Structure 1
Amino acid sequence: MELHGWIALATLLVATFLFITRWIPRPMTALAIPVVLFSTGVLDAGDDALSGFGNHALIAIAAIMVIGGALQESGVATLMARGIMRVGGNSEIRLVTLIMTASATLAAFMNNVAIVAILLPVGVALSRRSGVPAARLLIPLSFGAVLGGTITLIGTAPNFLVASYFNEGPYADGETIGVLDFAPIGVPITIVGLVVMILVGRRLLPSGHTEANDDRHGHSPEEAAAIYRLPERLVEIGVNETSGINGKSIAEADLRGYGVEALLVRRPGAVGSTWLPPQPDLVLQPEDRVFVDGTDEALWRLAETEGVQMGLLDPRTLRSLLAKGLTVGEAAIAPHSDNLGHTLRELRFRNRHGVNVLALWRRNEAVHTGLSDIPLELGDALLVAGDARSMRDLRERRDFVLLTDHSQDENVTRAPLAFAILLGAILPTFLFDFPLPISAIGGAILMVATGCIARRSVLKSIDWTVLCLVVGTLPLGAALEKQGIASAVAGWCLDLHEIFGPAAVHAALLLLAGLMSNLSSNAAAAAIMCPVAVEAARMVHIDPRDALLAVAYGCSCNFVTPFAQCNVIVMGPGGYRARDFILVGLVMAAAVAAVAITMLSLR
């Protein structure tokens, strides 16, 4: 091997070491790779060193991340989480089955890290309600998300990288790896993984402790509202042609002047009702139904003065409103808040934060009247209502500590639209041979245009670390191929093929990809292993698609280390130690490898 080959190999080893130790941030390590390769002459063309920036996979992965963010923000995942909470019960096996099935199903179409983040509070709440320790539920949640990523092309970045490498290469011969080409093996992998976790993996999980009395986790919005007796105070007022507030905006109607707070507006339409937040400029129309909070005296005064119809509501109505875009939260005043000593009127609280204050908790009792003119004190807590986005913004403010769990508060009214856009982005790729990068970009644009994801959330939905890893490691893969290292590794596969047959080649590629995925990242492992897989397939005369699929499934075997992206999220809440992931992770990785190698060899 010539000097440039040794430099390329050294670059791979040093980069892997830095990925493991994280002495340098992983994005910086990855972006340094093309600089080193070009500076040392390993890649003598600038276009080759910067090929990662112009790769179609990079664009598609970013667009798919935006689509996944929209599915999260529009409430698709929330609907499933609520279903789990309703039917969970107290059986550990049932809970593990439900939470793994939910995370795997969602991870087939969304970023698996986002899925774990969404369902983590659900797992903790299930632990608290059932008495099953969180440590018995959160590793299954993490592993379920990893397994689900094997089902579709958009499930995880390595899937798209191997598909893009094959589809754009000269060896495709008119064939492609499509969106659902991963499913014939990915679905059995997921099913076997679920069964292995129930039969074997559960026995290897730590006993942990129950979250039943863990006060670190806040109430749900519904529970917080009940503490302040909000369900008992909810009333629906109807606007008609003769009402004094007809044709007025919420601000002009001045409901607060009566001591009444508007929470949500239902506006009938030709094809169903529209649920609207009570923004100050929203103009009320005949047949509008406004859900409000107020004392009996204030509500009767409003009805008599403005001529509105008033209807009492079932206390369970709040649960329905929480599914239509309203969310309720309890916010404590932070110890060093600049709001201490000021009234809500002086702070212009509604205008600054986009939420209404419904009650104040002071000295173990709720105060519902005269809220605008009460100076805030240390120890006060506010019951506030608004939409999920405003509540998330409030959480980020240093002046408040949000005490409620808002992991399930997304407005789910746009969930059907977001799911339809997802289908619109996927179906053309295998019905009309439409390029996935173009289709994904179109889907991302529609998600933003229709409000399924807020514009300010678009950049947050993109995992820039993954994109940097793709940009940096794709040229490294090309360098390994150019300098003959990929051929050398493929030569070892040829030796295995002569002794054990094609299954040994698939196993070697899968194990190498799995090892690199656990040591660095799954995206980096895929980018580096693609040239090796194709070269090995050429030498032993097997289908390059199967060789690349082996790499993709190997990249999804990152169960073992606690620093894998999904595992690191659940490590703290589950009270895990690093060794808790190793044994159960090895069992799960072995199951995935066995299914993938067997099915690839039978194709």
Structure 2
Amino acid sequence: MDNVALTAEILIVFGLLGLTIVLFVTEIVRIDIGALIILFLIGVVGLIPGIEPIVAADELFSGLSSNAVVAIIAVMIIGSGLDRAGVMTRVARLILQFAGRTEQRVMAVVSGAVGLITSFMQNIGAAALFMPVLNRVSGDVGIPRSRLLIPMGFAAITGGTLTLVASSPLILLNDLMPGDLEDFGLFDVTPIGLALLAMVIAYFWLLGRWVLPKAPETSEDASRARSTSDYFKDLYGIDYAIREVRIGDESRLAGTSIGEFEKEYGVFVIGLDDGDERQIEPPRNAEITAGGHLAILGPIEHIETASGRDGTELRDRLDAFARSMSPRHSGIAELIIPPGSSLIGESIGELHMRRSYGLTVLRIQRGDEILRDELSSVEFQAGDTLVVHTRWERLMELEDDRDFIVMTSRYPKPKKPEAPCKLWPALASMAFALGLVFFSDLPLALALLGGALGMVLTGVLDMDDAYRAVSWKTVFLLAGLIPLGLAAQNSGAAEWLAVNGMHLIGDVPVWVMQAMLFLLVTFFTLFISNVGATVLLVPLSVSFALVAQANGIDADPRVFALIVAIAASNAFLLPTHQVNALILDPGGYRVIDFLRAGGLLTLLYLAVALLVINLLF
């Protein structure tokens, strides 16, 4: 291997790589803006006297049209369509049946499922399809998405090592090796992949509480729900809790009405499940039945008193109402009765507010007076401010009702309701995309785009829904970084690092050579595509192994080539991998979160991979 001269262009690319690391780690600016800054700097390099452009003008914006970016856009739309049709709700229920409601078990089941699915489809596709599932599970169980998305994403990346067709580096492996070396079979790498996937699941099972973000995700919906709750606590002193109570078969509450129960204990029943029907904001005349469940809102001491009756059981956490009473789906809101409202002069009892409007009125603010007792008989006046508990979807409906002025604006805006009638068109669109992936020679991006178009053309989503399904932050992050990989290859910087890295390894034991090669590939994969790293380093690693053999070192060229392909999936430290970029925004992650979660995992991945590879080969 001849030395590669260190040129000014190579030094400039090294400077850009260093700046990228600084921008990502410090987050002086948002990382998608940082990626666009790097893109701009790559483009203006050609203005420096004596320096040739390191990326051609017609390639500078190739990231926006790259297969990777188009594939990500397509799978986001497909995933949104499956969610809208109710597919992901069903999958979420299956996961909860197997995983229960504890963070560790949910994390392990989801990670294992994603990892196995990735063995026969691209990891970015598997991760994107499971994101709506995790949204459902997170809302139902109350586990922040930030505690689930990184384990799921890392499992999707690792699942790419399960078969020879599960990831691009392994697909390319046989074609990049010299013809005189024996090809690898489809399942030769499966023991390696299974060991790595098991290691990732065990890693988060044992260490997840320390390496994953401790604070809930800072997504817009979550922050809106929290700020709304804080507002009513500060303004009205409403510091209520929601608890679930099961009515025993012998309970004396069985047969009484919701209204009687509320009047006796000074609480509000906002959910009633009798086993056959689940009602949110049930009417006051609804009957409490034995074996049923109540969702009770009120001061915690009142709830404990109400649940202290014989035959009632106060649950430690929400079960039947876990999803419907989560901050993402319901909460406290504020409405005003405007002049001219048809409700003026009518009372809550006469209007049946719960049945007619889905509102449980907690307080009425009238001038300087707060009304809170016997509200069912209070007649509305113009200017009354109602403090209510309601589902967010009902609140959205009231924004178009002239009888109310909805004052609460910071609440999670629900998506359009599920459309179960579109279940089969959604599944057919997904099957169409997968069929093109497996049984045609079309590029992955084009095949997935066919599935996305199917979602729109069959009416599962309209085009505005499709646009909203795309995380444009992810798109521009990748669009800005892909030209950086081209710059590293075009300038010779990647080859310079590879050749000089091989020379530095020198005359050392074979396992040290393998570890250094693994680290070199890992570094490359963080900043250029895993495909680029594989194409560059497989031939170099084979040549290096042959030179080592000539010097009496037992270095198998096939093993060295395999190490490169496996190491190309060791991309946990930065959100530059497609899967990491995909989960970055929905999880509310910062770069430091990937460094914390992926630091030790990177070393464990190296150790487990090298151990199993050497045991097998």
Letter in 2 for 1:380: V
Match of 1:549 among 565, 575, 579: 565
> What does 1:355-394 correspond to in 2, within 5 Å?
357-363=357-363, 377-381=384-388, 383-384=390-391
Query: For the residues of structure 1 that align with 2:243 and 2:422, how far apart are their CA atoms?
Result: 22
Match of 2:451 among 431, 443, 446: 443
Query: For the residues of structure 1 that align with 2:46 and 2:244, how far apart are their CA atoms?
Result: 55
Equivalent residues of 1:78, 1:410 under 8 A apart: no
Over 3 Å counting, the alpha-carbon distance change for 1:103 and 1:218 in structure 2 is farther
**Counterpart of 2:222?**
none
> What does 1:335-354 correspond to in 2, within 5 Å?
341=338
Offset of residue 63 of structure 1: 1.8
Letter in 2 for 1:5: I
Over 3 Å counting, the alpha-carbon distance change for 1:491 and 1:10 in structure 2 is same
**Counterpart of 2:200?**
193
Equivalent residues of 2:177, 2:542 under 8 A apart: no
Report the identity percentage.
16
**Counterpart of 1:592?**
605
Offset of residue 443 of structure 1: 0.8
Deviations 1:217-270 (A, max 9, x none): 99699999x93456689999xxxxxxxxxxxxxxxxxxxxxxxx9x9xxxxxxx
Residue 11 (str. 1) matches residue 22 (str. 2): no
> What does 1:375-524 correspond to in 2, within 5 Å?
377-381=384-388, 383-384=390-391, 399-402=408-411, 410=418, 414=422, 417-495=425-503, 499=507, 507-508=515-516, 510-512=518-520, 514=522
Query: For the residues of structure 2 that align with 1:110 and 1:459, how far apart are their CA atoms?
Result: 18
Offset of residue 48 of structure 1: 3.8
Over 3 Å counting, the alpha-carbon distance change for 1:479 and 1:423 in structure 2 is same
Letter in 1 for 2:53: V
Query: For the residues of structure 2 that align with 1:83 and 1:145, how far apart are their CA atoms?
Result: 20
TM-score, structure 1 as length reference:
0.59
What is the DSSP-based 3-state SS (H/G/I as helix, E as strand, rest coil) of the residue aligned with 1:381? strand
Match of 1:533 among 520, 534, 537: 537
Query: For the residues of structure 1 that align with 2:415 and 2:146, how far apart are their CA atoms?
Result: 16
Match of 2:58 among 36, 41, 47: 47
Over 3 Å counting, the alpha-carbon distance change for 1:411 and 1:597 in structure 2 is farther
Query: For the residues of structure 2 that align with 1:87 and 1:38, how far apart are their CA atoms?
Result: 57
Over 3 Å counting, the alpha-carbon distance change for 1:60 and 1:121 in structure 2 is closer
Offset of residue 553 of structure 1: 1.1
Letter in 2 for 1:554: N
Query: For the residues of structure 1 that align with 2:176 and 2:591, how far apart are their CA atoms?
Result: 47
Over 3 Å counting, the alpha-carbon distance change for 1:552 and 1:64 in structure 2 is farther
**Counterpart of 2:134?**
119
Over 3 Å counting, the alpha-carbon distance change for 1:439 and 1:94 in structure 2 is closer
Structure 2 residues without counterparts, runs of 5 or longer: 1-5, 217-225, 231-239, 247-257, 259-267, 296-318, 345-354, 364-371, 546-556
Structure 1 residues without counterparts, runs of 5 or longer: 128-133, 154-158, 237-260, 264-291, 298-313, 348-354
Residue 227 (str. 1) matches residue 235 (str. 2): no
Equivalent residues of 1:51, 1:471 under 8 A apart: yes
Over 3 Å counting, the alpha-carbon distance change for 1:38 and 1:74 in structure 2 is farther
What is the DSSP-based 3-state SS (H/G/I as helix, E as strand, rest coil) of the residue aligned with 1:26? helix
What is the DSSP-based 3-state SS (H/G/I as helix, E as strand, rest coil) of the residue aligned with 1:427? helix
Offset of residue 446 of structure 1: 0.8
Letter in 1 for 2:134: L
Q: Indicate the RMSD between aligned Cα atoms, in angstroms.
A: 6.3
Equivalent residues of 1:31, 1:472 under 8 A apart: yes
Equivalent residues of 1:66, 1:458 under 8 A apart: yes
Query: For the residues of structure 2 that align with 1:195 and 1:376, how far apart are their CA atoms?
Result: 58
> What does 1:237-248 correspond to in 2, within 5 Å?
none
Deviations 1:414-451 (A, max 9, x none): 55653453343123333343432221110111122234
Equivalent residues of 1:331, 1:382 under 8 A apart: yes
Equivalent residues of 1:510, 1:593 under 8 A apart: yes
Query: For the residues of structure 2 that align with 1:178 and 1:62, how far apart are their CA atoms?
Result: 32
Letter in 1 for 2:201: L
Equivalent residues of 1:100, 1:144 under 8 A apart: yes
**Counterpart of 2:75?**
64
Match of 1:2 among 4, 7, 31: 7
Offset of residue 60 of structure 1: 2.5
Deviations 1:510-553 (A, max 9, x none): 53465577xxxx57564774564356346447579846633541
Equivalent residues, number: 493
TM-score, structure 2 as length reference:
0.58
> What does 1:23-42 correspond to in 2, within 5 Å?
23-24=28-29, 25-40=33-48, 41-42=52-53
Larger radius of gyration: 2
Offset of residue 193 of structure 1: 1.5
Offset of residue 600 of structure 1: 5.7
What is the DSSP-based 3-state SS (H/G/I as helix, E as strand, rest coil) of the residue aligned with 2:338? coil
Equivalent residues of 1:139, 1:567 under 8 A apart: no
Query: For the residues of structure 2 that align with 1:110 and 1:503, how far apart are their CA atoms?
Result: 35
Offset of residue 72 of structure 1: 3.8
